[in-house]
Structure 1
């Protein structure tokens, strides 16, 4: 049975849960990065309300769709290039460094967990990373500086891979694209082994990623949900906190100073 806590109680309960856990895992969504100036996807005014997502099959089939995807990408980079890790990112990095978190599973693609100091082997990026691109045919990695140069040289048209002529896409997972098997396996292993699962800033509506909290709870782990809006898993949680993530985790972030 869950209970919704005020800020002071939430900090105390979370610290106690972490102290008792042998294998704690954090699960992060877009709400973690909003204080860094990166808007989320689902809320009014979010990214999806302004730009309808481009389905993966449409991206593959039409150069115009690929061109629009890269136009959006470069526009977002210009708007959010100055984003730095927030209090939540710093707190989680500190908890990882202390060994109080066994790992972080994230739906985010912004690279701020890495920028906060979380090592790659303790971070699972379910939806990929927007900091580089790959060819969808041959798998060659392409740096964004090359993609931008080729895009601009072609008069604002999406480039093809110079190795094989295949379509080039950011290393993220789009609607209709298969989830990465390796990362899903890593996330499942972390979740199955955990005794504390902490959700931070996820609306828990995007599957299959949103199934991990349920997996953890069914395996007997404590479940904590910190999110401004209600989620469909709140009734299953041991602790629900509807507050700003930075405010909840600020004591942990301050310890990292």
Structure 2
């Protein structure tokens, strides 16, 4: 019997809401070199470009709406009697807007700011500019509170602890090639968890899962949630 569930979501969950994925053909990284907009070095070279990029992502996010996959995961959280943790690689807020509360953003949150000078964090969905100042220290070193390449993901100790207790690990809409998230299935399986992948196409790590289902998240996730809730 499944009591504890850990769910990992990636860009494929939000793609059907109109938010571009990063690694598919035509994805964001094919139009913006990652070293320019998603590294500390890129921010140091041209903070204006980085802030413009993420301000545009904020505007895209504001006009997007949660889809059936987001809503189904919120329904599972509300109806599940055991432990459940939703871990997302996504920096958008669509899970929250759908109603999810037991949620960790391992790559940060687009609608938050981080001071590169003092480390202070605060909520903000406004466009970012180089002259913006940190409300804590006053430095003009504002950046989005997201994890860039070369930086350590957030909440890792809590995530690993939950994986160690999980009876079921489910990966939804992920490419399977970004670590440490790509290794979660192996971490969970070593502790005896059953593993399931729900993805538009099989990921690079699909062979590590006990079961894999292919199709759009807006169909697969509600179907799986209905099974879990006995509907």
Which range, TM-score by smaller chain? Answer: 0.7 to 0.9
Q: Which runs of 4+ in 1 moved over 4 A?
A: none
Higher helix share: 1
CA RMSD of aligned residues (A): 2.1
How many equivalent residue pairs? 222
Match of 1:109?
91
- Structure 1 gaps, min length 5: 1-19, 152-156
Displacement after TM superposition at 1:235 (Å): 1.8
Deviations 1:87-130 (A, max 9, x none): 111111111111256111110110111111111xx211110100
CA contact under 8 A between 2:58 and 2:110: conserved in structure 1? no
Of 243-252 and 66-75, deviating more is 243-252
CA contact under 8 A between 2:164 and 2:187: conserved in structure 1? yes
Match of 1:36?
17
CA contact under 8 A between 1:60 and 1:167: conserved in structure 2? no
Deviations 1:62-108 (A, max 9, x none): 3x2x1101111222233342111111111111111112561111101
Match of 1:167?
141
Deviations 1:158-190 (A, max 9, x none): 54536242521111000112223xx00111011
TM-score by length of 1: 0.79
Q: Whole-Å Cα distance in 2 between the matches of residues 99 and 242 of structure 1?
A: 24
CA contact under 8 A between 2:40 and 2:148: conserved in structure 1? no
Displacement after TM superposition at 1:143 (Å): 4.5
1:77 paired with 2:58, answer yes
TM-score by length of 2: 0.87
| Counterpart mapping for 1:24-173 below 5 A | 24-53=5-34, 54-62=37-45, 64=46, 66-99=47-80, 102-119=84-101, 122-144=102-124, 148=128, 151=129, 157=130, 159-161=132-134, 163-165=137-139, 167-173=141-147
CA contact under 8 A between 1:198 and 1:225: conserved in structure 2? yes
Q: Which has the higher contact order (CA 8 A, sep 6+)?
A: 1
Q: Whole-Å Cα distance in 2 between the matches of residues 234 and 146 of structure 1?
A: 39
Match of 1:207?
179
Displacement after TM superposition at 1:55 (Å): 4.7
